[in-house]
Structure 1
């Protein structure tokens, strides 16, 4: 019990498992061919959460800020792997994604800690860092996927600009801008309707924990703006690193698998 908050017991967890079973049954009856994937995803999520919960318990009690930052670094590495797969086919896609996620995370989380916007306690740095890494990962993955699509579909236009004497950076600039717009639109749209359509996770969690709504709103504003910043920085960095790998030393667009 936390400030009047009733935390679900294992019976409640069992109820949620039954709801997953219902979703799997619907997928099976409707022949969506997603039943196995749904059950594996649910089982994997449960195992991962229990394992992470045990690790975080040790982290919060014994390691302090250095341990929290090490955990954030691990999250960045994993996020880079996930986002890099979105740009499969791009040269060094995982490196570009990891660089983007790391850049967005270091700048955003570093500013929050340096300016004392958030506490340096591990139980604060880890979840806030996780939100930042997640937002940066999504933006980087979308940007890389769009870059790859444009590099393939718009190849004649890019090569035409190169033939006119434009450097590689300027020849590819319209497509980099398009990739960045595509990556940032989901975050911008979510920010526009925050509080009107849904109560975001950080705010909801604080309210459920008994925090006054106005206090929860201040925290959510910080979270919302830091996610926008992290997504923008990560998408830009990932796009720039990936763009450089698209051209050889003679500034020719390399061939990509279709």
Structure 2
């Protein structure tokens, strides 16, 4: 395996010129995003350095329990982020956290138990991160769509309830719509993988000198696990959110502004 040429800190500093270019474009076009863009770039750099230092400790001293603990931290953070997308829903952050946790636990657990991936911390953490990220995005999209539909289609939902349909049946078309919307990005990405871009896992392995055919095997696993994680997370979050939308008498609750 050939050695990987990694940019030194001088190279990292030089890449700030690209951030400057993006900030200049935002300023010249009066997008009112210049300050936010610069803050995001600085924040990302600080976060990555901090995470790198933490992972160094995890990999060297805490072994597998530390790796799974870090995945749990990622799930909690992802739940908070995804919950903001459906902030108008009751207990949105709790719902999002449950969705992400189920998607990540089942998917990562299956990969470990079936021996698809190694149980080394340096494998569990990045793979877990990809799973949690995919679950977070799908959960956030599903909750946002459910919130929008529950508000905009309230008369239609209440009409279905008046016809005698239980809450689950009255809301079923909107749950399906939310799940379809949440899964479309993952499905589309899977359709064109390798044709439009080389995904992250495959690119990283190729840059590290791994044979492309070997990298492809890993990428196939990644794409399949993301499909499972997004589907499980979105479905779980949608079902939990749906229950919170109705009271014990199957009445649609009022949503927060």
Scaled by the length of structure 1, what TM-score is found?
A: 0.98
RMSD in angstroms over aligned alpha carbons? 0.8
Aligned residue pairs total 257
Scaled by the length of structure 2, what TM-score is found?
A: 0.99
Secondary structure of 2:233's aligned partner: helix
Per the alignment, residue 168 of structure 2 pairs with 169
Unaligned runs of 5+ in 2: none
Secondary structure of 2:15's aligned partner: helix
Q: In 1, Cα distance between the equivalents of 2:68 and 2:187?
A: 28
Per the alignment, residue 197 of structure 1 pairs with 196
Per the alignment, residue 153 of structure 2 pairs with 154
Per the alignment, residue 118 of structure 1 pairs with 117
Q: In 2, Cα distance between the equivalents of 1:116 and 1:65?
A: 15
Q: In 2, Cα distance between the equivalents of 1:3 and 1:245?
A: 54
Range moving further from structure 2, 20-29 or 104-113:
20-29
Q: In 1, Cα distance between the equivalents of 2:145 and 2:185?
A: 14
Per-residue deviation, residues 161-210 of structure 1 (Å, max 9, x unmatched): 10111100000000000000000001100110000000000000000000
List, as ranges, runs of 4+ consecutive aligned residues in structure 1 with deviation greater than 3 Å. Answer: none
Per the alignment, residue 246 of structure 1 pairs with 245
Superposition deviation, residue 22 in structure 1: 1.3
Q: In 1, Cα distance between the equivalents of 2:158 and 2:246?
A: 11
The answer to whether residue 83 in structure 2 is matched with residue 89 in structure 1 is no
Per the alignment, residue 57 of structure 1 pairs with 56
Unaligned runs of 5+ in 1: none
Superposition deviation, residue 26 in structure 1: 1.4
Per the alignment, residue 33 of structure 1 pairs with 32
